[in-house]
C-alpha cells in the first residue's frame, strides 16, 4: 500500500503529469462512479479491486475516444501519407498509466482516486501486461507507436492479437517453468473489435494459369477479425490506431453429408484455424546457437534439444515432425498478418482521395506517395510477394509497374547480425501453404539474378550468395534477401550494427546498391521510460530545465550546466535512493531476501542468451564470493546483483544458465560469512511492468554482450536515462552512448569488434585463459565439481563443456578485463558525489536516444513525410481551431 500524499505534496506536483484542476477531478469522479455503478448493477452488489480498476480504465478511455475519432476524421479529410508499421510483436505492457500521462490526466486521476478513498498504485498493479512480444524488437515497436503519435504522423501499427502472450516464467527449484499468459481472461478495456472490417485470408490450394490471368483456387479460408487499440500522443490530442488481427473460422460448414460425428469434427476443426492467433512464438530465432540437425537433412536447426554436430542426430523423428508442424503455424501467422493488413491498406487507399469527388481511387501510380510500409525484421516479409500478387493477379497491373510500386512502398529494418537468426523457410513448406507466392518469389529471384548476371558475368559464386533461394540439401527461401530486394531502404538499428550489415552480413547487396542501406539508431519513449516509471527524477529535471524536454529529449544537454551544482547532485542522489528503498521492499516481499538499500544495485535484465553473456556475470559473482570468503574483514563494496530474463522454452543452454544463477544465489545468500556484502536475486517473470520498477532503482547497468553481436539494445538507453552507469563492451548502441557521454563516463571493457575478428582468425582457445587466470579457474572448478549443486555434482557439466569447447561468444576472453573494470566500478561507488556527477553527465547525454529522434529520421529519410506540431483540437472545441505549424501547411505530409 503506497502512502497517501499530503495536501502539500499533492499540490506540488508538476504539470508534465497534467494539471489537477477541481473541474477535472469532479468529472473523473463522476465518470468513475458511473462506470462502477454500471458494473455493479450488471453483475453483483460488492465491488472488487478489479472492478475499481476497470471503472478507472473506462473513465480514462472516455477521454480517449473523442480524440481518437477526431484524429481519424482529420486524417480522412487531409488524406496524408499513411505510415504502416508491420510487426509480429508489440510489447505494450500496461496501458492505464501511460494513457493518463499522455492525455495530461495523471495528476487529476491521482487526486480523484485519492478523494474516492482508493490507492491508484494498487489499481495500476491490477492491470495485466499486454505481453505481445519477446523483448527488444517488440518493445521498440511499442515505443515507435508512441513517438509516431506524439509527432503527429498518420501511422498505424499492424500485428496479431495473440490470445496468449509471452509465457509467464515461474522459477521452481531454480529451474524456469513456463506457464500460459492468459492476459485476456478478465477482458481488455482498451480494445475495440471491428467486425465490419473482417477479411478472408487464404491458405493451401493450387494455382491455375489461364488466358484471363493467374488464379489461386481451392484454398482454405481463415477470417481475420481486427481489434483496434488507441495510441495517444503526448499532450497533442492525436490518437493513432494499433490494429491487431485475430483468427476466426468461417461459418460455412459443409453439412450435406450430415451426421453427428462429422458435425462435431467440423466444430473442432474451427480450432485449427483459430490457432493462428492463439499464441506468441517464443524467441527462438537464433536457433539457440545449436548446430545443424544432421539427421533431418534440412539445414534447419533443432529446437528440441541442444545438439552438437554428431555423425547422427539423436533427436527422434517424431519430435522433428512436431518441430516442423510448429514451423508451419509460424509461417501461417506471418502470412495471416500481412495478407489481412495489405487488404486493409489497399481498402483505405482506394476509399480516400483528398479534394476529389471520386468515391475510390482506381489507379495505383500514387500508391508509394500515399503509403509507406515498414517491415520490422523479416517476420512480415511475405508482404512483398503478397502485394505483388494483389497488383498482378487481382488489379491486373503489368509486372514491371507492380514491382516498381512495391519496391517504392516497402522498407526493411534488420535487427540481427547473427547469420542463423535470419529466417529461411523451406521451399516445400511455402509451396504447400502458399503456392502462388512461391511462384512470385521464383519470378522475383529470376529477374534479380538476371540483373546480377548482367553486371557480373560468369560470377556464379556471387549469384549463389545473392540468390533468394538457397540450394543444397533442402531448398530454402532467404527472407532477408527477399526484404532487401523488395525494399527501397534497408536500415540497421545502431551505427556499429549498420556497418556490420553493410560490410559483412549483406556485403554483396550493399556493394550493388550502397544508397539503399542506412542507419537508424534505436530509441526509447521518454514518456514511459522516465515520466511514468521515474516521476521523481522527471520532476527534478523539470525544475532545472523546464518541461519541454519531454517532447525534445535533446534538451537534457542543459543538465551539463548543473554537474557541479551541489543541490542538484543531492536531489538526484536522493531520488535514486528513494527508488532503491522502494524496490528493496518489493524484493524482500517477493523473494524473502533482506536487501541493503545502500548496496550497489548491479542489474542485468534481458533475454537469457549465450551472446548476452549472463554467464560472465555469474563468474564475476562467484569471484566476488570467493574474495569475501578468502578475506572476510577486507573492505568490500556491498552489492545486490539482480539478474532477470526469460529463456526460450526450447533453449537448453539458456535454461541451464538460469538454473546456475539460482544455484549460485542459493549458496551466496545463505552464507553467514558473506552476510549483506553480496546478495544475488534472479527476477522471476521479467516483463515491461517489472522493468518499470527495477530500472529507476539501478546503479549499474550490465551491457556485456560480445562485441559485434548485439544489434543495438534499448535497455541500455533506459538505464542511462534513469541515472544508472553502464558497464559494457563496445557493442550495439553502447558505442554511441560512449560517444555522447564520453567513454570516460562509462565503464567500457573488453574486446572490440576487430579484436573478436582477430581472435576468430587465430582460433579461440578457452583453455589458455583457464590455465592463466587463477580466479577464473577456481570459479569454473566450483561449477564443475558441484560446489553449487551438491545434490547433483554433474548438473552443470554441459555449461562447463560449452565454455571450453563451443563458446562462440568467448566468455573467458573478456573475463579478466570485466573483473578489473568491476573493481573500478566499486572504487567509484565509494565516492557518492563523484558517482552522482557521472550519473548526471550520462543523463545529460541521453537525449539522442529518444524514439522521437529515431522516428523523425525514419520519417524524413525513408518514409518521406514531415512530423508536425499540429495539435488537433480536443472534442469540446471546434475543429476549425486546429493550427498547422508545419512548413507550407503540409501537416503530416512531406
Query: What are the residues whose beta carbons fall under 8 Å from the beta carbon of 619, sequence distance 6 or more?
Result: 776, 779, 780, 811, 815
Residue 292 has which C-alpha cell? 545443424
Q: Which residue has the cell 530465432?
A: 285
Give the number of residues written for the chain. Answer: 894
Query: What are the residues whose beta carbons fall under 8 Å from the beta carbon of 201, sequence distance 6 or more?
Result: 221, 222, 223, 224, 335, 336, 339, 340
∠ CA 177-791-644, nearest 5°, is 35
H-assigned helices in 712-810:
715-721, 734-741, 753-762, 766-772, 774-785, 797-805
- Residue 100 DSSP code: H
Assess contact for 336 and 245: CB atoms under 8 A: yes
∠ CA 358-359-363, nearest 5°, is 70
CA-CA-CA-CA torsion sign (632, 637, 640, 646): negative
Enumerate the β-bridge partners of residue 239: 232
Segment holding 320, helix H or strand E: helix 317-351
620 vs 833: CA distance, rounded Å: 26
Query: What are the residues whose beta carbons fall under 8 Å from the beta carbon of 39, sequence distance 6 or more?
Result: 47, 51, 54, 55
Assess contact for 494 and 712: CB atoms under 8 A: yes
Q: HEC string of 566-615?
A: HHHHHHHHHHHHHHHHHHHHHHHHHHCCCCCCCCEEEEEECCCCHHHCHH
Assess contact for 640 and 681: CB atoms under 8 A: yes
Assess contact for 568 and 544: CB atoms under 8 A: yes
Indicate the Cα dihedral angle 546, 550, 552, 554, nearest 10°. Answer: 80
- Could you list the active site residues? 415, 606-607, 612, 714, 718
Amino acid at each position: 500500500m503506497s502512502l497517501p500524499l499530503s495536501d502539500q505534496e499533492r499540490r506540488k506536483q508538476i504539470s508534465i503529469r497534467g494539471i489537477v484542476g477541481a473541474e477535472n477531478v469532479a468529472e473523473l469522479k463522476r465518470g468513475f462512479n458511473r462506470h462502477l455503478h454500471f458494473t455493479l448493477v450488471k453483475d453483483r452488489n460488492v465491488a472488487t479491486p478489479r472492478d475499481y480498476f476497470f471503472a478507472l480504465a473506462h473513465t480514462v478511455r472516455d477521454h480517449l475516444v473523442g480524440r481518437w475519432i477526431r484524429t481519424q476524421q482529420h486524417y480522412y479529410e487531409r488524406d496524408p501519407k499513411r505510415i504502416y508499421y508491420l510487426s509480429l510483436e508489440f510489447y505494450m505492457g500496461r496501458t492505464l498509466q501511460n494513457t493518463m500521462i499522455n492525455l495530461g490526466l495523471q495528476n487529476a486521476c491521482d487526486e480523484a482516486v485519492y478523494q474516492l478513498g482508493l490507492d491508484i498504485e494498487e489499481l495500476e498493479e491490477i492491470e495485466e501486461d499486454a505481453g505481445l512480444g519477446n523483448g527488444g524488437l517488440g518493445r521498440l515497436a511499442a515505443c515507435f507507436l508512441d513517438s509516431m503519435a506524439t509527432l503527429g504522423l498518420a501511422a498505424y501499427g499492424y500485428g496479431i492479437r495473440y490470445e496468449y502472450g509471452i509465457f509467464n516464467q515461474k522459477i521452481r527449484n531454480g529451474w524456469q517453468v513456463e506457464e500460459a499468459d492468459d492476459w485476456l481472461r478478465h477482458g481488455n478495456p482498451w480494445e475495440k473489435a471491428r467486425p465490419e472490417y473482417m477479411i478472408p485470408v487464404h491458405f493451401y490450394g493450387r494455382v491455375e494459369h489461364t488466358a484471363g490471368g493467374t488464379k489461386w483456387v481451392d484454398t482454405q479460408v481463415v477470417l481475420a477479425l481486427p481489434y483496434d487499440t488507441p495510441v495517444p500522443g503526448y499532450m497533442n490530442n492525436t490518437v493513432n490506431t494499433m490494429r491487431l488481427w485475430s483468427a476466426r473460422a468461417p461459418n460455412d460448414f459443409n453439412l450435406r453429408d450430415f451426421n453427428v460425428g462429422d458435425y462435431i469434427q467440423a466444430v473442432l476443426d474451427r480450432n485449427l484455424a483459430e490457432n493462428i492467433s492463439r499464441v506468441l512464438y517464443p524467441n527462438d530465432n537464433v536457433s539457440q546457437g545449436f548446430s545443424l540437425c544432421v539427421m533431418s537433412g534440412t539445414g534447419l536447426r533443432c529446437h528440441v534439444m541442444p545438439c552438437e554436430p554428431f555423425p547422427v542426430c539423436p533427436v527422434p523423428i517424431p519430435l522433428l515432425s512436431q518441430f516442423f508442424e510448429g514451423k508451419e503455424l509460424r509461417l501461417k501467422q506471418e502470412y495471416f498478418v500481412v495478407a489481412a493488413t495489405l487488404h486493409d491498406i489497399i481498402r483505405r487507399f482506394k476509399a480516400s482521395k483528398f479534394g476529389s469527388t471520386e468515391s475510390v481511387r482506381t489507379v495505383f501510380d500514387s500508391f508509394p506517395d500515399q503509403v509507406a510500409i515498414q517491415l520490422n525484421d523479416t517476420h512480415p516479409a511475405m508482404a512483398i510477394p503478397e502485394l505483388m500478387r494483389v497488383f498482378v493477379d487481382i488489379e491486373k497491373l503489368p509486372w514491371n509497374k507492380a514491382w516498381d510500386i512495391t519496391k517504392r512502398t516497402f522498407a526493411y529494418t534488420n535487427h540481427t547480425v547473427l547469420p542463423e537468426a535470419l529466417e529461411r523457410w523451406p521451399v516445400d513448406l511455402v509451396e504447400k501453404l502458399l503456392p502462388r507466392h512461391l511462384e512470385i518469389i521464383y519470378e522475383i529471384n529470376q529477374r534479380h539474378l538476371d540483373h546480377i548476371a548482367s553486371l557480373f558475368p560468369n560470377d556464379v559464386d556471387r549469384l549463389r550468395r545473392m540468390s533468394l533461394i538457397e540450394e543444397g540439401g533442402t531448398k530454402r527461401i532467404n527472407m532477408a534477401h527477399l526484404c532487401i530486394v523488395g525494399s527501397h531502404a534497408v536500415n540497421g538499428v545502431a551505427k556499429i550494427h549498420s556497418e556490420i550489415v553493410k560490410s559483412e552480413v549483406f556485403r554483396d547487396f550493399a556493394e550493388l546498391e550502397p544508397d539503399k542501406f542506412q542507419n537508424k539508431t534505436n530509441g526509447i519513449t521518454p514518456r514511459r521510460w522516465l515520466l511514468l516509471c521515474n516521476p521523481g527524477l522527471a520532476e527534478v529535471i523539470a525544475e532545472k530545465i523546464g518541461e519541454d524536454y519531454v517532447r525534445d529529449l535533446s534538451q537534457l544537454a542543459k543538465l551539463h550546466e548543473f554537474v557541479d551544482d551541489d543541490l542538484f547532485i543531492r536531489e538526484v542522489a536522493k531520488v535514486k535512493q528513494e527508488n532503491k528503498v522502494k524496490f528493496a521492499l518489493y524484493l524482500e516481499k517477493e523473494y524473502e531476501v533482506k536487501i541493503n538499500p545502500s548496496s550497489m544495485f548491479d542489474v542485468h535484465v534481458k533475454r537469457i542468451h549465450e551472446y548476452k553473456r549472463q554467464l560472465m556475470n555469474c563468474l564475476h559473482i562467484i569471484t566476488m564470493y570467493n574474495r569475501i570468503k578468502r578475506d572476510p574483514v577486507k573492505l568490500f563494496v556491498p552489492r545486490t546483483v539482480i539478474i532477470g530474463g526469460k529463456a526460450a522454452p526450447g533453449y537448453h543452454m539458456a535454461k541451464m544458465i538460469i538454473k546456475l544463477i539460482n544455484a549460485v544465489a542459493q549458496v551466496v545468500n545463505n552464507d553467514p560469512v558473506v552476510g549483506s556484502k553480496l546478495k544475488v536475486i534472479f527476477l522471476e517473470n521479467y516483463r515491461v511492468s517489472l522493468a518499470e520498477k527495477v530500472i529507476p532503482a539501478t546503479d549499474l547497468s550490465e551491457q556485456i554482450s560480445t562485441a559485434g553481436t548485439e544489434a543495438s539494445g534499448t535497455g541500455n538507453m533506459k538505464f542511462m536515462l534513469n541515472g544508472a552507469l553502464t558497464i559494457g563492451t563496445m557493442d550495439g548502441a553502447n558505442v554511441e552512448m560512449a560517444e555522447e557521454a564520453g567513454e570516460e563516463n562509462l565503464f567500457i571493457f573488453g574486446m572490440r569488434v576487430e579484436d573478436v575478428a582477430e581472435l576468430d582468425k587465430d582460433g579461440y582457445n578457452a583453455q589458455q585463459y583457464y590455465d592463466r587466470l587463477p580466479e577464473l579457474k577456481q570459479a569454473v572448478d566450483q561449477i564443475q565439481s558441484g560446489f553449487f549443486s551438491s545434490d547433483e555434482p554433474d548438473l552443470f557439466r554441459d555449461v562447463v563443456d560449452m565454455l571450453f569447447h563451443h563458446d562462440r561468444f568467448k566468455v573467458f576472453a573478456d573475463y579478466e578485463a570485466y573483473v578489473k573494470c568491476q573493481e573500478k566500478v566499486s572504487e567509484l561507488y565509494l565516492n557518492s558525489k563523484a558517482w552522482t556527477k557521472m550519473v548526471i553527465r550520462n543523463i545529460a547525454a541521453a537525449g539522442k536516444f529518444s524514439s522521437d529522434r529515431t522516428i523523425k529520421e525514419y520519417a524524413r529519410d525513408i518514409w518521406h513525410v514531415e512530423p508536425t506540431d499540429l495539435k488537433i483540437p480536443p472534442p469540446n472545441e471546434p475543429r476549425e481551431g486546429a493550427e498547422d505549424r508545419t512548413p507550407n501547411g503540409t501537416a503530416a505530409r512531406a
